[in-house]
Structure 1
Amino acid sequence: MPELRPHLRATRRWVQAAPVQKHHEVPRLIESWLQGWVGSTAPTATLDVSHPLFSEPVFCDRRNFFLALALAVGAPVHGGPSREELQAQLLERLRARQTVRLKRWSGAELAALFLLLADEAPSADTVEALKALREAQSTSGSFGEQMGATLVALAALRRWDPTSEAFARALDFLLHERTTEGVWCFSPAEVWDTALLCRALEGCEDLEPAMFERAWSFLLRSQNEDGGWSYREGVESDTDTTSMAMLALPRTDAGTSASGLGRAYLERMQTPAGLWLTWQSRDDPPAEDVVAHAIMALRKWGTVPAFWAPAGEWLALRARQEGGCRAHWYNIDSYASHEVGLALGPSHDSTRHLARELVERQNPDGGWPPTQGAASSAAATGMALALLTFYLPNEHLCVTRAIHYLAELQEPGGSWPGPLQMYGPRPFAIDYPMQIHALSVHGLAAVARASRTPPRPLTEL
């Protein structure tokens, strides 16, 4: 694209030098292909999407996204649907975008990818796709405030409508959003960060009350008209951020009013099976951490237990599965255990089971690994510690070793280093420094709270 070419040298260098993510086969294969493609003068690297993981419902959209890109630039591909099949799938989903409640950026991606694969001659289908693309553009010029969706939308507009205002606005947005290093980041998450940190620091009596007041005011201002919240301002609501904001808000008049609207949003979003999807799309699967947050938020703000009881039973079964709970947004086992444990309650047998597993998995350095067998991390240790304070006194060796690990790892400025590995979009992992800090400090704040209340007897584990 000529308009971006002068700005891509730094981006190309970054892609070629960046370490390929290896925590999951999907990003490993795609990022390896991207590096090979960017480093070539011609699109000779083959995109291989034949691995069975690419066909799982939660990952097939990422497969189709990169498969369409590869086909559009003439790169060889292996596996997945053919070009014709992919075009038909994209068009079918685009036409059903209202009934499946797609996010704005998802609709933009479908329209843009279809337009990049379409024949040169205009047709009724390309007219429909262009109309859908224009409808998906945000006031900022982006498409759902997402860099990936905006980039492919810009490419599609460059091909089909290069003199349009939509193209000019998208280009201006992308040029404005480049970092000082000349690259693009995924997305800020200021609403989620604020709610997560408020929840982590709840009850810390030595902190300045005005800090919480400003954070709560921000959350109240960020609520969407439908009663929900999104991870950042200007984006459609999602179940997980709505629940997290409700958990963060205080029981003031304003907090109660806002959370009442949030409760109505969560109740509307419940599936016929009594669960919650991560996004609004009916094609997205339920996730343990998201369901746990919805239960906790509804319980806090007065929804009767019978409403969320089926979701609690589902979580209890998931907690007992081999390997324990899994979070869909953080690649951290202890985060899933903590959130599911709090949703079920500390006295629940499945929560005690999760806590016992955490005790057994503590690393020799006193920390916990994000996933079994990995090195310890601050975020994973904070979340494990937060759950165990419900059962173990502060002087217990398991607790003191974890505190010592976090104290040794803390940086001079007070924060903690990564990695975090937040999935966005799943299963590609991103580090958000404020979220690392929130998950790490959550454990220490829990220890401080536990010191003011008698611990449960050790026999509960």
Structure 2
Amino acid sequence: MEADRVCRDLVSRLAAQVTQDGCVPGPCASRVLESALPLTLLRREGQHAGVQERLEGFLSRDTGGGRTRFDSALSDGVLTGRQADADWVHAELLADFDHFTFARKRLFFDVCLAVVGAIDFDAGMRPERIDSGNRAPWVQMIMLALKVTIAHGLRRPEAVTAADHERLVTLLREGQRRSVWENHVTAHLLALLAVSAFAPRSADVAKGLRLLVECVNPDGGLPSIANLSVFCTGVAGLALARAGADRQVTVRMGDYLAAMQGPDGGWPFGENMMQSDVDTTSYALAFLASLDTGRYAKPLQRAGSYLSAVAGQDGGFPTYVAGDPSEVGMTGGAASALGWAGDAHAGLLENAARYLLGAQKPDGTFERSWTLSEANTIWRAMWALHSLPPSRLPQLRAGREQAVARSWGFFDLAQNDDGGWGYRPGDASDTTSTAYSLLALSAMGRPAGADVTARRGVFHLLARQEADGGFTALPDQVAPRPLLFDAPVFADIWALLALGACNESWRW
């Protein structure tokens, strides 16, 4: 079968990317935001003239119309000093962005535009109102950096205290001991820009710039994430294990992940990090459980404890910190990953299922959260709903059947004439959305052999394979939301997961 051949090609391509220590590096592509901000900072500090030239080259390169209004405003601001209309930029950037972080993101993007000279600092930014309290570590640092940057940008240094300055420097020093701060290039940049506003040419800024320079990509730009190896290894390992890859390769990957598990039982998305997250943990847990529950018994148990501790009272799971709002994608991923243990987490899985059923919209979709593709969260929710232990299914069966019917109706209506799916209904088909859609249909018990909608989707996906055996795709992952970032290895991973799942319905 053609699908079998394509799967073999993908297995070979992904296995070849596994390093000797068992990780899939998965480097991220350069992005305009993380290239415009350091160019501003390097000019201000008078450092690394050669890197400045490379950044200028990346920002000035013609991308064939692929840049957003936000990208264009940033590059125009830093290269030519041309200013933009912030409302015009946000009309595209934040369109349909319905999320609890909306106000924070609008402020964040406005400050980035102001730093590069694309807009002016505005008195309405009000630094004294910015809360930099208890959130994920990089959110704390970003919010504190924004507060300091706004105060100095408005020439109101009195709006921040010496304690604010000291706290920011302390966070920066602690975080950049190992590498770029938590592998979060954006947060690292904003902290450096803020510190340079009150302590220009300091040793802390110079060190931070040296670490950033090490992350410059061959195209001259900077990525948004410096290291995504742990996340990429989890999802690639799951795809390879499900496709029957060489066990020596998958065990090497499993041992790498076991060694990367954090003290709290979760996994961070990259190496040399402290902050675990539910997304990375869910994929790592799913992979290890599918690979060898005996060999990885202790990591699996610790991961279950981590997820139990972070679950919200509403039954859902946040991305980073217990007590933050629950999100559909994280809840679906966590519940699916815990399904391997059956009744050991029955109560947690039932609560998660109830949360998911309550979060579904009438058209069968859910919030998109960390992706632009509607199909992603549908897939993860459907997989979770089909990972329930039999003991909890009777009381939830009717709700699950209704949810499945709604989501199947969405895919039936949203499928394009070419057999694929786009981010949203009416969008052109793309590889990643098509893979997510096939994964969702498989989770709902509609494999390609028995369902015409799934079969047409498989044919579309197969037609997208390139001459080298792999796939390329539009990026769909967002961070910080709703900015797209691209790890090219994802295209092969999602395609392999989808094609493997379409042979028969399976669950984690």
Look up the equivalent residue of 2:104 and give its one-letter code.
D
> Is the Cα–Cα contact under 8 Å of residues 285 and 337 in structure 2 kept in the other structure?
yes
> 1:378 offset after TM fit, Å?
1.9
Evaluate the alpha carbon distance shift between residue 151 and residue 57 of structure 1 in structure 2; reply closer, same or farther with a 3 A threshold: same
> Is the Cα–Cα contact under 8 Å of residues 234 and 287 in structure 2 kept in the other structure?
yes
* Residues 34-49 of structure 1: pairs in structure 2 closer than 5 A: 34-40=74-80, 42=81, 44-48=83-87
Q: How far, CA to CA, are the matches of 1:35 and 1:73 in structure 2? A: 8
Q: How far, CA to CA, are the matches of 1:103 and 1:393 in structure 2? A: 41
2:31 aligns with: none
Q: How far, CA to CA, are the matches of 1:157 and 1:355 in structure 2? A: 51
Q: How far, CA to CA, are the matches of 2:432 and 2:112 in structure 1? A: 35
> Is the Cα–Cα contact under 8 Å of residues 43 and 73 in structure 1 kept in the other structure?
no
Evaluate the alpha carbon distance shift between residue 396 and residue 159 of structure 1 in structure 2; reply closer, same or farther with a 3 A threshold: closer
Residue 315 of structure 2 is aligned to residue 271 of structure 1: no
1:193 to 232, 235, 248: 232
Residue 185 of structure 2 is aligned to residue 140 of structure 1: no
> Is the Cα–Cα contact under 8 Å of residues 327 and 336 in structure 1 kept in the other structure?
yes
Q: How far, CA to CA, are the matches of 2:438 and 2:333 in structure 1? A: 19
1:25 aligns with: none
* Residues 295-334 of structure 1: pairs in structure 2 closer than 5 A: 295-302=335-342, 303-322=344-363, 324-334=365-375
Evaluate the alpha carbon distance shift between residue 81 and residue 222 of structure 1 in structure 2; reply closer, same or farther with a 3 A threshold: farther
> Is the Cα–Cα contact under 8 Å of residues 77 and 117 in structure 2 kept in the other structure?
no
Question: CA RMSD of the aligned region, Å?
Answer: 3.0
Q: How far, CA to CA, are the matches of 1:161 and 1:378 in structure 2? A: 47
> 1:228 offset after TM fit, Å?
0.7
Moved more, 54-63 or 438-447: 54-63
2:52 aligns with: 8
2:298 to 253, 257, 275: 257
2:128 aligns with: 88
> Is the Cα–Cα contact under 8 Å of residues 143 and 153 in structure 1 kept in the other structure?
no
* Residues 18-57 of structure 1: pairs in structure 2 closer than 5 A: 18=63, 28-40=68-80, 42=81, 44-48=83-87, 57=100
Look up the equivalent residue of 2:438 and give its one-letter code.
L
Q: How far, CA to CA, are the matches of 2:385 and 2:114 in structure 1? A: 47
Deviations 1:75-116 (A, max 9, x none): 5459x8714x2x1123xx23x2xxx2x223222222322332
Residue 408 of structure 2 is aligned to residue 355 of structure 1: yes
Q: How far, CA to CA, are the matches of 2:377 and 2:156 in structure 1? A: 50
Evaluate the alpha carbon distance shift between residue 89 and residue 323 of structure 1 in structure 2; reply closer, same or farther with a 3 A threshold: farther
* Residues 281-430 of structure 1: pairs in structure 2 closer than 5 A: 282=323, 285-302=325-342, 303-322=344-363, 324-345=365-386, 348-349=400-401, 350-389=403-442, 390-392=445-447, 394=449, 396-430=451-485
> 1:419 offset after TM fit, Å?
0.7
Higher relative contact order (CA 8 A, sep 6+): 2
2:163 aligns with: 128
Per the normalisation by structure 2, the TM-score is: 0.77
> Is the Cα–Cα contact under 8 Å of residues 312 and 322 in structure 2 kept in the other structure?
no
Look up the equivalent residue of 1:358 and give its one-letter code.
F
1:161 aligns with: 199
Q: How far, CA to CA, are the matches of 1:222 and 1:177 in structure 2? A: 21
Q: How far, CA to CA, are the matches of 2:452 and 2:325 in structure 1? A: 39
Evaluate the alpha carbon distance shift between residue 446 and residue 55 of structure 1 in structure 2; reply closer, same or farther with a 3 A threshold: closer
1:106 aligns with: 139
Q: How far, CA to CA, are the matches of 1:422 and 1:330 in structure 2? A: 5
1:68 to 103, 107, 111: 111
2:11 aligns with: none
Deviations 1:18-71 (A, max 9, x none): 46778xxxxx5533431331342x363343377686895323222222323445
> Is the Cα–Cα contact under 8 Å of residues 47 and 77 in structure 1 kept in the other structure?
no
- Structure 2 unpaired stretches of 5+: 1-43, 388-396
1:209 aligns with: 247
Q: How far, CA to CA, are the matches of 1:19 and 1:189 in structure 2? A: 28
Residue 277 of structure 2 is aligned to residue 238 of structure 1: yes
Q: How far, CA to CA, are the matches of 1:370 and 1:121 in structure 2? A: 43
> Is the Cα–Cα contact under 8 Å of residues 196 and 202 in structure 2 kept in the other structure?
no
> 1:423 offset after TM fit, Å?
0.8
> 1:263 offset after TM fit, Å?
1.3
1:459 aligns with: none
Deviating 4+ runs (over 6 angstroms): 19-22, 120-124
> 1:121 offset after TM fit, Å?
8.8
Alignment coverage as a number of residue pairs:
433
1:456 aligns with: none
Look up the equivalent residue of 1:116 and give its one-letter code.
T
Evaluate the alpha carbon distance shift between residue 223 and residue 421 of structure 1 in structure 2; reply closer, same or farther with a 3 A threshold: same
Q: How far, CA to CA, are the matches of 1:334 and 1:50 in structure 2? A: 25
> Is the Cα–Cα contact under 8 Å of residues 363 and 410 in structure 2 kept in the other structure?
no
Deviations 1:313-361 (A, max 9, x none): 2211333433512332222222222211111118731124313432333
> Is the Cα–Cα contact under 8 Å of residues 73 and 118 in structure 2 kept in the other structure?
no
> Is the Cα–Cα contact under 8 Å of residues 315 and 354 in structure 2 kept in the other structure?
no
Evaluate the alpha carbon distance shift between residue 377 and residue 135 of structure 1 in structure 2; reply closer, same or farther with a 3 A threshold: same
Evaluate the alpha carbon distance shift between residue 180 and residue 387 of structure 1 in structure 2; reply closer, same or farther with a 3 A threshold: closer
Evaluate the alpha carbon distance shift between residue 323 and residue 342 of structure 1 in structure 2; reply closer, same or farther with a 3 A threshold: closer
1:177 to 215, 236, 246: 215
Report percent identity of matched pairs: 22
Q: How far, CA to CA, are the matches of 2:364 and 2:461 in structure 1? A: 25
> 1:153 offset after TM fit, Å?
1.9
Q: How far, CA to CA, are the matches of 1:132 and 1:254 in structure 2? A: 43
- Structure 1 unpaired stretches of 5+: 23-27, 454-461
Evaluate the alpha carbon distance shift between residue 393 and residue 45 of structure 1 in structure 2; reply closer, same or farther with a 3 A threshold: closer
> Is the Cα–Cα contact under 8 Å of residues 366 and 374 in structure 2 kept in the other structure?
yes
Q: How far, CA to CA, are the matches of 2:313 and 2:454 in structure 1? A: 41
Evaluate the alpha carbon distance shift between residue 21 and residue 108 of structure 1 in structure 2; reply closer, same or farther with a 3 A threshold: farther
1:458 aligns with: none
> Is the Cα–Cα contact under 8 Å of residues 136 and 143 in structure 1 kept in the other structure?
no
> Is the Cα–Cα contact under 8 Å of residues 318 and 330 in structure 2 kept in the other structure?
yes
